[in-house]
Structure 1
């Protein structure tokens, strides 16, 4: 997997060509799941695809008890922070305990950017083997505003999300089952809910990706949009990246064959 310890990322904000600059703290020395913390290629790819994807965040927020965005396996949080700004919503960035301090630092680094785009970010610990409860983390973004009037603490422990994003989260045989269980537990049941993922199409991971697709379809989800992107030359690799958008199947609908 190609990774980057770069500390600044320009992310496409809209189709007009405007960008936002996401700041990332120095992740050296941190690791989880035997991987050093860095920004993976899938994260930059997915962050730059989000502006092209229409989403519906109506009836989300504190009063509706529905998260806007939930990032699974956030790593440095690039995708979740980008999603919050691009879609002007709240995002909860989750990962395992060793990585939470870095995510917390990145939320703080981008506090002003989030504010300028009417966006908010929170931090949480989520174990995919026990996805029913998100443990709140300490972050400068834990105070959320509902409609811009008054401060409220969002209790995210058991809230579902209108959009789940996940980048480069399938690189072992255990991950498809764990990821799908987390999605089933945390994705909003509304027809507007979306699961948006990105992963590298490396030979060693293709079986895991096929397993993931089969499990998502068995869980009642259908892929409605997908694409492939090449990462820029600065990453020094030529592996294609695939992104895909999923929703809950309508009654009587059959999934289309995918990857």
Structure 2
């Protein structure tokens, strides 16, 4: 692709087309590289083009023009072009530089379910609020939920005939409730509501809650079409008792936690929260998925495993996947993702004390 030269005073439509073609997509779920997405191999050329648009007053853009049936003034056109150019620059600076965005996440169709799409809003990534971003682990797990339900959680499901042809639909039993811990933008919990036809309560810290609520409300109609229901609230792992007033039930049949370990105290906090909120029976399960990015996350994962064992949990099944966090270099390393279903082996301390 040859980028237009501003010296030749290209039209608004030509500049708009070029800027749209330069979009860099997350390479976790779009395997094309930044160069392939933009069709321009020399990123230095791209950067110069983008900065030239931002710096130019684009004085040759006419006062008004009819673009696709929409009437735009010269000022509106210039603002749109500068905004797009700024976004393209931000995309090349990594996820922390990205402005607010809404992305559509697709769960592929299967023999039992049609393709499902979720719109997830991600505010700018600021400070330590990593939960404002949808990480690669969440999408990998979301796409595996149907298979997990069939292979490892079948005892929670019922089947009903939904058509004259005899097509059956699987849905979670009415008494089985799902709790997501550290939900972030909510993709995993929202997907579970639809894929499993389940009632899911998504939780995270107060700073994450507003965006989580937005995504829950945005996708609730889609989840409802598949017989599920989603809601959300604040659950601080350091003060879990404060959440007892807002959770729909005190104990849950299934717990979900995707990419939950970032600090040294997280393994102990997570193990204690799982102990507190997972039902006290042999059928309940906690699904925890951890990407092993480096030695630090490997150590956190091992620490969590030891603490779960100390709390009376046993590995029911486990596996590995490969993912790559988006907005990294296109040749960045792939990350091994470890997922584990934990089950109880002994009656919890809380039940014994009661």
Please give the range of the TM-score, normalised by the shorter of the 2 chains. 0.7 to 0.9
The answer for unaligned runs of 5 or more in structure 1 is 137-154, 252-259
Q: Note the C-alpha offset of 1:231.
A: 2.3
**Which residue, out of 129, 136, 146, partners 2:238?**
129
Q: Note the C-alpha offset of 1:86.
A: 1.1
Mapped pair 1:238 → 2:334 = yes
Mapped pair 1:217 → 2:309 = yes
**Which residue, out of 205, 211, 214, partners 1:96?**
205
Alignment of 1:82-231 (within 5 A): 82-134=191-243, 156=247, 159-203=250-294, 204-231=296-323
Mapped pair 1:22 → 2:114 = no
CA distance in 2, matches of 1:9, 1:158: 29
Query: TM-score, length-normalised on structure 1?
Result: 0.78
Q: Which has the larger radius of gyration?
A: 2
Q: Note the C-alpha offset of 1:46.
A: 1.2
Aligned residue in 2 for 1:147: none
**Which residue, out of 179, 184, 188, partners 1:75?**
184
Higher helix share: 2
Query: TM-score, length-normalised on structure 2?
Result: 0.58
The structure-2 alpha-carbon separation of the partners of 1:12 and 1:72, relative to structure 1 and needing over 3 Å to count, comes to farther
Q: Which is bigger in relative contact order (C-alpha 8 A, separation at least 6)?
A: 1
Aligned residue in 2 for 1:148: none
Structural RMSD (CA): 2.8
Mapped pair 1:53 → 2:148 = yes
Q: Note the C-alpha offset of 1:184.
A: 0.6
**Number of corresponding residues:** 227
CA distance in 1, matches of 2:305, 2:213: 31
Q: Note the C-alpha offset of 1:240.
A: 1.4
Q: Note the C-alpha offset of 1:157.
A: 6.1
Aligned residue in 2 for 1:43: 138
Higher strand share: 1
CA distance in 2, matches of 1:96, 1:135: 15
